[in-house]
Structure 1
Amino acid sequence: MMIPWIIAAEIAFWIVIIIGLISRYVLKMPKLSIFFFALTPVIDLLLIILTTIDLKRGTPASTSHGIAAIYIGVSIAYGKTMIAWADEKFQQWFFKKPKKTPLTGKAKGLYDMKMLVRHISAFAIGAGCLYGMIRFAGTATDTSPLLQIMKVWGIVLVIDAVISLSYVIFPSRK
């Protein structure tokens, strides 16, 4: 049963981010905050280990194993961006920092292309995890659901690419 582990990893991710932000801004301990932010890849590593052990034990591969790989890819590729987003929100909520103005035009197109590169990175990492899980599990279990996850995610990636490119080709107006 992987879903509880995925939920636990997500909760642990946000707990270490919040503790890191509190360490940085409330306790004024920037080195301690870096320590907590650095724990996020450790959480990902633990989830990878738990997922592969679960498959190696002969548990039939399922969508939840695929979701674990997606979680890991997204967490690694977008981790810095998610931390920056949380940092910005923390400052807005607790220090009344003004909100950024929404991006438009070429700036929006450039931002979406950067996010597309992150999505491609997340896909590559997640697909690598899925492939590793398939190879590690060997013939102990049917891993076809993991391949199906990769196909669906590939379709999502293509749709994201089309939308992101549309912001470059047809920039929004202010």
Structure 2
Amino acid sequence: MIVALIAACEIGFWVLLAAGLAFRYVLRMPRTGLALLLCEPLLEVVLLVATAVDLRNGADPNWTHGLAALYIGYTVGHGHRTVTWLDGHAAHRFGGAPPPPKPPRYGTARARHEGKVWTGTLIGAAVATGLLQLAIWYVDDPARVTSLESWRFTAWRAAGIHGLIALSYWVWPRKAPAGETGVAAEQEREGVRR
């Protein structure tokens, strides 16, 4: 049941996002579009409540409950950035706004960008860990919660791998090709302004 609910929440996320952007920019109803976009967090609340009810009804904690916590954590950590990115593209495509800035490609500006993205992963891992710990306390049976405990490790392993990737942009910054030095300098300035 939890896996189906996670899939439904993911589908619901994209449906609400598409509907919100369509109302904002295609149908020229920005308040309705904003209301639909603000409904996005309700999907995570539904998933959280359903997971708690499933555990309360005696379900053995398993990988589905851990996956639900990671999904909620990922949405908290990266959902806003995803919605903002897509909103910028929709505003450009349908609303006449200038194109959204692309992430920097070179140097410290790129490293700074990757660090910000990694911060979202850290937030997601922290939220998932908190939810998993609450579930462990809620079940209150050490013999039944080993699967939930292993998902905490999974969340931090993913954050660690992403952190190493982000760190690699600082240690080995990508340099602009010879013909793109002017573009790289402009990107560097843009990265400093953000």
TM-score relative to the length of structure 2: 0.81
Partner of 1:138: 140
Match of 2:61 in 1: 61
Task: Give unpaired runs (5+ residues) of structure 1.
Answer: none
Residue equivalent to 1:2: 2
- Which 10-residue stretch deviates more, 96-105 or 108-117? 96-105
Shift of 1:7: 0.3
- 2:77 maps to 77
Counterpart of 1:154 in structure 2 is 156
Q: CA deviation at 1:94?
A: 5.4
What letter corresponds to residue 126 of structure 2 in structure 1? A
Partner in structure 1 of residue 180 of structure 2: none
Equivalent residue, structure 2, for 1:44: 44
Q: Secondary structure at the match of 1:60?
A: coil
1:109 paired to 2:111: yes
State the alpha-carbon separation in 1 of the partners of residues 157 and 147 from structure 2.
15
- Deviation digits for residues 113-146 of structure 1, max 9, x if unmatched? 0011111111111111111111122239712111
Instruction: Percent identity, please.
Output: 28
- The alignment partner of 1:77 has SS state of helix
> Contact conserved, 1:73 with 1:124, CA < 8 A, in 2?
yes
Which of these two proteins has the greater Rg computed from alpha carbons? 2
CA deviation profile, 1:87-118 (whole Å, cap 9, x unmatched): 24435665797575552221110011001111
Q: Is the 8 A contact 2:25 2:90 kept in 1?
A: no
Contact preservation (8 Å) 2:73, 2:124 = yes
RMSD after superposition: 2.1
CA deviations 1:52-101 (Å, max 9, x no partner) are 11111111111111111011111112111110222244356657975755
Instruction: Check 1:66–1:126 CA distance in 2 against 1; reply closer, same or farther (3 A cut).
Output: same
Distance 1:100 1:41 in 2: 26
TM-score (norm 1): 0.90
Whole-Å separation in 2 of the counterparts to 1:6 and 1:73: 13
8 Å Cα contact 2:89/2:99 also seen in 1: no
The residue type equivalent to 2:28 in the other structure is K
Alignment of structure 1 residues 117-128 onto 2, 5 Å: 117-128=119-130
Contact 1:55–1:141, Cα closer than 8 Å, also in 2? no
- What residue is the counterpart of 1:22 in the other structure? 22
Unaligned 5+ segments in structure 2 are 177-194
- Tell me how many residue pairs correspond in the alignment: 174
Is the alpha carbon distance of 1:163 and 1:51 closer, same or farther for their aligned partners in structure 2, counting shifts above 3 Å?
same
